[in-house]
Amino acid sequence: MVLHYPGGIDLTEYGIEIPVAPDRTQQVLDALTAGSDSVADGAEWLSGPDGSTIGRVDLLRVHAPPYVERGFGPGVDELMIEVFELRNDDGSYHRYNPGAAKKPLSVLFDGWIRWMSGTYQCGKEALRNGFCFYLGGGAHHGHYDFGHGFCVFNDIVTAIRKLQAEGSVTSAWVIDVDAHKGDGTAALTADDPAVTTLSVHMAHGWPLDLPDHDRLGRPAPWLVPSTIDVPIAAGEESEYLPRLRRALTTLAESPRPDIVYVVDGADPYEHDELPSTASLRLSLQQLLERDEIIHSFLATRAIPQAWLMSGGYGRRAWEPFAGFLSATMAK
Ligand SMILES: [Zn+2]
């Protein structure tokens, strides 16, 4: 099953100038339905939101109450400016032109909550049918009392906690292959043996090159290790897949979980257009092999797998997602 959040979130409607192609979801859908031999032809494979939304109570299982409440009150504009990093140190705007906005940032916040609900729904579908891919989700930079890297809240941990609270799962793995380290997920689950995290990411660069203490002088939560971290330095692309395989072998030593979330970033792609991902340049073939390794590793073990889109920026970000889904759905 593929889940789709119709319309997506188009940041340009809010005056935000970040190069997430607003149509990458549509491009994936177009690729899957194109041609007479469409893999999706005739099959019941696509679903929209089912109304199971994330609410305050779900957010409060994961995030600090004062932080959550900012989003629901007059502090929402400033919250979104922080999370989307729209202000320079001198107070001027960065990648943000309020004059070009058609909608206020509070509408973006509301849409964001609905969007992150898809991650929970993806988990429910994976538990029912073994596999689900959500064309959204993967906000792995959401932390306890702040967000960064365009992640207001952490949808992955929020979904796991909701599934646990309703008794659907006890334990979970998170396999994160986005180019950026899954720092929020690692920090939010660091003390919880029920959640095992694996992150394969750029060895250097954001968020790992941020200061080692936060603004309040606390040890930086973005440096909290995952259960298994696999850093890949510039020029080590040929080592990527062997290291992923070894890491999965290590992960398999943990008790079998009830569900796995795969944070399937396309931003390690050599054609990604976000400047901060330039040090990791996997080919399309390597990305498709990456995803196949993970998919078959989980399928062999009959572990329900919930996949999330996460990063992937620019005109060709849709290609790895479409390639993986075409191959998987054709089986
Ligand atoms: Zn990323």
pLDDT at 266: 97
> Hey, which residues does 201 pair with through a beta bridge?
231
pLDDT at 316: 94
Interacting residues of 199 by C-beta distance below 8 A, sequence separation 6+ = 176, 177, 181, 182, 185, 186, 226, 228, 229, 230
Q: How far is the CA of 202 from the centre of ligand 1 (A)?
A: 10
The CATH number assigned to the domain holding 158 equals 3.40.800.20
Q: How far is the CA of 274 from the centre of ligand 1 (A)?
A: 9
Residue 80 lies in a domain: no
The pTM of the whole model exceeds 0.85: yes
Q: How far is the CA of 311 from the centre of ligand 1 (A)?
A: 4
Domain count, the chain: 1
Q: How far is the CA of 310 from the centre of ligand 1 (A)?
A: 7
Q: How far is the CA of 66 from the centre of ligand 1 (A)?
A: 27
Residue 87 lies in a domain: no
Residue 277 lies in a domain: yes
Q: How far is the CA of 263 from the centre of ligand 1 (A)?
A: 9
Q: How far is the CA of 267 from the centre of ligand 1 (A)?
A: 6
Residue 75 lies in a domain: no
Residue 89 lies in a domain: no
Q: How far is the CA of 230 from the centre of ligand 1 (A)?
A: 15
pLDDT (tens, 9 = 90+) of the chain, 331 residues, equals 898 887 778 888 999 987 666 688 889 988 888 865 566 554 567 787 777 789 999 999 999 999 999 999 999 999 999 999 899 989 999 999 999 999 999 999 999 999 999 999 999 999 999 999 999 999 999 999 999 988 999 999 999 999 999 999 999 999 999 999 999 999 999 999 999 999 999 999 999 999 999 888 888 999 999 999 999 999 999 999 999 999 999 999 999 999 999 999 999 999 999 888 999 999 999 999 999 999 999 999 999 999 999 999 889 999 999 999 999 987 7
DSSP state of 220: P
Q: How far is the CA of 89 from the centre of ligand 1 (A)?
A: 23
How far are the Cα atoms of 88, 150, 202, 288 from residue 188, in angstroms, in the given order? 27, 17, 20, 29
Separation between Cα atoms, residue 108 and residue 85, nearest integer Å: 15
Q: How far is the CA of 37 from the centre of ligand 1 (A)?
A: 32
Q: How far is the CA of 43 from the centre of ligand 1 (A)?
A: 31
Q: How far is the CA of 269 from the centre of ligand 1 (A)?
A: 11
Q: How far is the CA of 48 from the centre of ligand 1 (A)?
A: 24
pLDDT at 93: 94
| Beta strands at 172-176 and 2-3: parallel, antiparallel or unpaired | unpaired
Q: Which of 172, 161, 227 is nearest to 200 (CA)?
A: 227
Contact 122, 158 (CB under 8 A): no
pLDDT at 21: 63
pLDDT at 11: 87
Q: How far is the CA of 329 from the centre of ligand 1 (A)?
A: 25
Q: How far is the CA of 195 from the centre of ligand 1 (A)?
A: 21
Q: How far is the CA of 268 from the centre of ligand 1 (A)?
A: 8
pLDDT at 37: 56
Residue 268 lies in a domain: yes
Contact 267, 129 (CB under 8 A): no
Residue 103 lies in a domain: no
Q: How far is the CA of 167 from the centre of ligand 1 (A)?
A: 31
How far are the Cα atoms of 8, 74, 256 from residue 27, in angstroms, in the given order? 12, 36, 35
Q: How far is the CA of 36 from the centre of ligand 1 (A)?
A: 34
Domain residues for the domain of 184 are 2-12+20-65+119-329
3-class secondary structure, 123: helix
Separation between Cα atoms, residue 227 and residue 197, nearest integer Å: 5
Q: How far is the CA of 313 from the centre of ligand 1 (A)?
A: 9
Buried b (16+ CB within 10 A) or exposed e, 203-233: eebbbbeeeeebeeeeebbbbbebbbbbebe
Separation between Cα atoms, residue 237 and residue 279, nearest integer Å: 10
Residue 95 lies in a domain: no
Q: At what angle do helices 237-251 and 284-300 cross, to 10 degrees?
A: 10
